[in-house]
Every structure is written in C-alpha cells, then in structure tokens.
Chains A and B, each alone.
Chain A
Amino acid sequence: KNEVEQSPQNLTAQEGEFITINCSYSVGISALHWLQQHPGGGIVSLFMLSSGKKKHGRLIATINIQEKHSSLHITASHPRDSAVYICAVRSTSQGAQKLVFGQGTRLTINP
C-alpha cells in the first residue's frame, strides 16, 4: 500500500462545479504539499500545510493531522484548472527532506 493515496485518480466535471480532491497518508509528517502540473508543463506548488486550512483565490486546502487526511477544493471550476494535482508529504520517518508523492489526480474541466 502506498504511503500517500489520492482519490479520485481521474475526475471530469463541468465548468463552475465545486471540486474536491482527497489525500490520505499513513506516515507521520512535518508538512503536506499540494502541487499542480499542467500537461507537458512544470510543477507549481499550490499550498504547503502543517495544520488547519489555507485559501488562495478559488483554491482551498485543508488538513486534519489526527485523521491523516487533506483535501484540495476548487470553487467555481474553470477549464484552465484542468491539470494533474499531486499531494506530497514530508515524512518524518524518512527524513523530512524527502517528499513522498501521491500518484496524482487528473482533473478535466469541460466548458
């Protein structure tokens, strides 16, 4: 079983819909990252969380340390949000410098 599991693996929605991507992890962490990767593109760090909730524009990220779970929400989704979203954790057991990555969630927003 992977240490970081994301769901769903693929998600297709209509423009304007509220999107939720989930990330569960099984190790102790010092921080959790949400990353965005457009097709053929580089990786952009959206959020880094160690507790609570963060908001940036239409994106909201939450983390529940006790439940070892994080969610990424997109409000009023737009076709330009189509990308792969990757959850990554800094595992305290592997040395906090090592990011452990989820397999990614491929999001497609149709106009």
Chain B
Amino acid sequence: DARVTQTPRHKVTEMGQEVTMRCQPILGHNTVFWYRQTMMQGLELLAYFRNRAPLDDSGMPKDRFSAEMPDATLATLKIQPSEPRDSAVYFCASGLSPRTGELFFGEGSRLTVL
C-alpha cells in the first residue's frame, strides 16, 4: 500500500560530518514537509515544498541545513556540517492539499550526532 518512505531509519555520525536524509513521498502527492522532533521542542516544521518548489524553509537553520526536491519522487534534507544539537528524529510527510489535506508521515530518520 502507498506510504512515505524515509532513509536511513537510523544514522549515527560524528560532529562535522555531512548527513543526507531522503524521502520518497506517496506517488501523486504534491506537498512535502520535513519536520524535526526532539524531546525539548516536540515537532517543528523545517521546510515545505509544493510541486517541488520550496515555499517555506523558515524553520531551518540556513547555514548548515538544505532541503531540495530534485524530482517528484525524492526529497532530501542535508546537514553540513552536523552538530550534536542536530540529534533528533526527522520526519517527512506528504499530502495533496496544503490547506486542508490529509498528511501521511514516514517512519522517521533517527539521527545521532556524537
């Protein structure tokens, strides 16, 4: 059945290394979101794409984070260089309508930066 697929599920890396997380949205969905979940902050929006165009990345630290959608089947979130405070679970979600549509979440990528 259709679902949002995220890779990797788990990543442990050292401070300063580049990290790339990938998301395959549900086929046909035109909105893609990246969220970060931490114990302290809960869920926070990092970036939002509609029809592959970035519409809102105000929640993302610009100096080290970047989000792209090279094609309709792939969204990426890159951190370079990574820092221990980036340790979190990163969720991708996709949907059809940004205003009222149902959202479908991936399983998340758990990142630990040592």
Task: State the A residues within 8 Å of B (CB).
Answer: 30-31, 33, 35, 41-45, 48, 50, 86, 88, 90, 95-99, 101, 103-104
Are B100 and A45 in contact, with the CB atoms below 8 A? no
Give the residues in chain A near B28, CB-CB below 8 Å.
none
A41 is contacted by which of B33, B50, B99, B107 (Cβ under 8 Å)? B107
Taken residue by residue from 43 to 64, chain B's Cβ proximity to chain A (1 for < 8 Å, 0 otherwise) reads as 1110010100001100000000
Q: Is B104 on the interface with A (CB-CB < 8 A)?
A: yes
Asked whether A98 and B45 contact (CB < 8 A) given A42-B91, A42-B108, the answer is: yes
A88 to B44, CA, bound (A): 11
Could you list 30 examples of A-B contacts with CB < 8 Å?
Answer: A30-B100, A31-B100, A33-B103, A35-B105, A42-B91, A42-B105, A42-B108, A43-B91, A43-B93, A43-B105, A43-B108, A44-B105, A48-B101, A48-B102, A50-B100, A88-B43, A95-B56, A96-B98, A96-B99, A96-B100, A97-B31, A97-B50, A97-B99, A98-B45, A98-B48, A99-B33, A99-B45, A101-B42, A103-B42, A104-B42
Interface residues on chain B, number (Cβ under 8 Å):
23
Determine whether B106 belongs to the interface, using a CB cutoff of 8 Å to chain A: yes
With A and B bound together, what is the CA distance between A44 and B100 in angstroms? 17
Knowing A43-B91, A95-B56, A103-B42, the reply to whether A90 touches B100 (Cβ < 8 A) is yes
Chain A residue numbers with a CB within 8 Å of B98 are: 96-97
User: Given the complex, which residues of A lie within 8 Å of B55, measured CB to CB?
Assistant: 97
